[in-house]
Amino acid sequence: MEIIDAWAQHPTPRHANDPMFATLRRWNREEAGEVIGAIPVSMTIGAMDESNVRRALISAWYAPKKVMISNDEVAGFVAEASDRLVGVGSVDVSRPMEALREARRCVDDLGFKAIRILPWLWEVPPTDRRFYPVYVACCELGIPLCTQIGHTGPLMPSEVGRPIYWDQVCLDFPELVVVGGHIGYPWTDEAIAVATKHENFFIDTSAYTVKRYPPALVQYLRTNGAGKVLFGTNFPMITAARALRGWDDLQLDEATAAAFLGGNARRVFRLS
């Protein structure tokens, strides 16, 4: 059964060492230590192989006044393993016209399959006017917009991650395909409501292990949400092997399992 990881990163030292992720390292009981030097793509591919992940969507990281993983770096990583890695771009929304042009470059020149923006990084909800040019670009380019829904691990405001904000965005842009990562907790019911209401809104399970999926999400996955939920890890924070521990407890039928693990991602991101 094919596994596609809908949310991952191949980190740079700038990303791995950023102080904002200290809380995540504490949660994972990781020892503090500075990453020095480039991290080989083979590390990410090796982790994928250990977990039987066929493909992973790896994203750039653009934050206010800093770039932790650039689009060109992601393109370089993908070039080293184009049969395994899929590029996801990001942009600086503080400069809307530049963001629009960069989103187009990501797709037209770099071959990326989506754009990711994280409202919590900018401390504003997804209804903020600065995001709208990116939504327009995604609609015109025919690619999904990836985002985080739910509370934030880093010590940043969580309110902007409430899934219900996306109800208005989806009303304004019914053509926009949105993949909301991190399951929307503690507002998972909101995420399910938005996904049920809007044909083009999806949920991915990144940053959560199977054993931590809220019961409402599991029930949705088993029933009318079988085509709306994508598997994701948030690698390197969580590997696929760790994320899928307790898999049998989900009690998914074969068709639903195949869609969740890979089929939905293949369809939503238009992977060949």
- What whole-number distance in Å separates Cα of residue 4 and Cα of residue 232? 8
Residue 247 to residues 57, 155, 203, Cα–Cα distance (Å)? 22, 30, 18
Q: Which candidate, 3, 5, 46, places its Cα nearest to that of 232?
A: 5
Lowest mean pLDDT, pick from 23-37, 149-163, 251-265: 23-37
pLDDT at 16: 84
Determine contact, residues 10/85, Cβ cutoff 8 Å.
Answer: yes
Look up tokens 């629009």; give the residue: 100
Per residue in 157-190, pLDDT (tens digit) is: 999 999 999 999 999 999 999 999 999 999 999 9
Per residue in 208-252, pLDDT (tens digit) is: 999 999 999 999 999 999 999 999 999 999 999 999 999 999 999
H helices within the chain, ranges in order? 13-16, 22-27, 41-50, 71-80, 96-108, 119-122, 132-141, 165-172, 188-197, 215-222, 240-243, 254-258, 264-268
pLDDT at 272: 86
What does the pLDDT average to over 65-87?
97
Look up tokens 């999400």; give the residue: 217
- What whole-number distance in Å separates Cα of residue 85 and Cα of residue 75? 10
Q: Which candidate, 109, 68, 49, places its Cα nearest to that of 241?
A: 49
Domains of the chain: 4-268 (3.20.20.140)
Look up tokens 């995001």; give the residue: 131
Per residue in 114-147, pLDDT (tens digit) is: 999 999 999 999 999 999 999 999 999 999 999 9
Does pTM top 0.85 for this prediction? yes
Determine contact, residues 187/163, Cβ cutoff 8 Å.
Answer: yes
What phi, psi does 127 have (nearest 5°)? Answer: -85, 0
- What whole-number distance in Å separates Cα of residue 191 and Cα of residue 203? 7
pLDDT tier for residue 28 given thresholds of 50, 70 and 90: low
What does the pLDDT average to over 61-75?
96
- What whole-number distance in Å separates Cα of residue 253 and Cα of residue 141? 34
